[in-house]
């Protein structure tokens, strides 16, 4: 429930020109899912979150980067991604070339 609250707060701060929901649909036309400890997040404390132009939700934690496609979570960390030297993700950014920039705490900047 805490994760859902954090996501809602972060999404409220998005620019008004960006729509994650179809404004033509009524709220009751959507389904609501919640995720908790068993959702495969490496940890419940989110440091940064970004939705890229391809629709993926990227979640940075102190224990790795998570890509969420709306159904499942995929974790990227130093155990499965050689470019990661530190799992602490501090910031995320998508540039105008649609590259995902990943800032780590003590592990450099990854693209």
- DSSP lists the bridge partners of residue 45 as none
Which residue, 39, 35, 28, is CA-closest to 4?
35
| 102 token code pair | 């990943």
- 19/82: higher pLDDT: 82
Range of the domain at 59: 42-111
Task: Report yes or no on 5 lying in a domain.
Answer: no
Task: Report yes or no on 99 lying in a domain.
Answer: yes
**Cα four-point dihedral sign 108, 85, 82, 54:** negative
pTM above 0.85, yes or no: no
For the chain, what is the domain count?
Answer: 1
- 15/54: higher pLDDT: 54
CA end-to-end span of the chain: 31
Residues 47-68: tens digit of each pLDDT: 899 999 999 999 999 999 999 9
């Amino acid at each position: 429930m805490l994760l859902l609250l954090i996501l809602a707060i972060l999404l409220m701060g998005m620019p008004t020109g960006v729509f994650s929901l179809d404004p033509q649909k009524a709220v009751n036309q959507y389904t609501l899912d919640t995720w908790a400890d068993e959702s495969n997040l490496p940890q419940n404390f989110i440091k940064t979150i970004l939705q890229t132009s391809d629709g993926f939700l990227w979640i940075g934690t102190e224990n790795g980067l998570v890509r969420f496609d709306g159904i499942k979570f995929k974790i990227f960390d130093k155990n499965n991604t050689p470019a990661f030297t530190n799992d602490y993700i501090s910031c995320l950014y998508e540039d105008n070339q649609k590259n995902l920039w990943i800032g780590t705490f003590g592990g450099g900047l990854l693209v």
